[in-house]
Amino acid sequence: MKRRNFIKNAALTSAGLVIGNSLTSCNNSESKEENNETIVSTDEEKLPLVIATWHVKNATARAMEILQSGGTSLDAVEQGCMVEEADIKNSSVGKGGLPDRDGNVTLDACIMDKHGNCGSVIYLQSITHAVSVARKVMEDTPHVMLAGEGAKQFAISQGFKEEDLLTETSKKAWEDWKIKSEYKPIINIENHDTIGMLAIDKNGDIAGACTTSGLAYKMQGRVGDSPIIGSGLFIDNDIGGCVATGLGEEVVKTVGSFLVVELMRQGKSPQEACEEAISRIVNKPNSNYKDFQVGYIAVNKKGETGSYSIHQWFSMTKFQDGINEQIQSDFYYEAENS
For this structure, is 317 an active site residue? Answer: no
208 vs 158: CA distance, rounded Å: 22
The four Cα atoms 66, 69, 75, 80 give a dihedral, to 10 degrees, of 0
Spatial distance between the Cα atoms of 179 and 181, rounded to a whole number of angstroms: 6
Contacts of 280 (CB under 8 A, 6+ apart): 254, 256, 259
Q: Residues near 228 by Cβ (< 8 Å), separated by ≥ 6? A: 110, 120, 252
> Least separation, in Å, of the C-beta of 42 and ligand ASP?
27
CA distance 288 to 31: 31
Cβ proximity to ligand ASP: between 7 and 216 the closer is: 216
Establish if 245 lies at the interface with ligand ASP (CB under 6 A).
yes
Choose one: 14-22, 189-197, 198-206, 260-268; the region binding ligand ASP (CB under 6 A).
Answer: 189-197
Does residue 99 belong to the site contacting ligand ASP (CB under 6 A)? no
Please list the residues that pair with 307 across neighbouring strands.
297
Q: Among 80, 119, 246, 303, which residue interacts with ligand ASP (rule: CB under 6 A)?
A: 246
Among 91, 92, 106, 128, binds ligand ASP (CB under 6 A): 92
**CA-closest candidate to residue 84, choices 118, 122, 53:** 53
Interface residue with ligand ASP among 119, 248, 256, 306 (CB under 6 A) is 248
- 62 near ligand ASP, rule: CB under 6 A: no
List 85, 193, 205, 272, residue binding ligand ASP (CB under 6 A):
193
Residues 72, 128, 194, 211: which is the catalytic one? 194
**Of 48, 94, 96, 214, which lies in the binding site for ligand ASP, with binding defined by CB under 6 A?**
214
CB 81 within 8 A of CB 109: yes
Q: How far is the CB of 329 from ligand ASP (least distance, A)?
A: 17
Measured distance CA(184)–CA(161) in Å, rounded? 34
Q: How far is the CB of 293 from ligand ASP (least distance, A)?
A: 8
Q: Which residues are catalytic?
A: 194
Q: Which residues bind ligand ASP (CB under 6 A)?
A: 92, 192-194, 212, 214-215, 224-226, 245-248
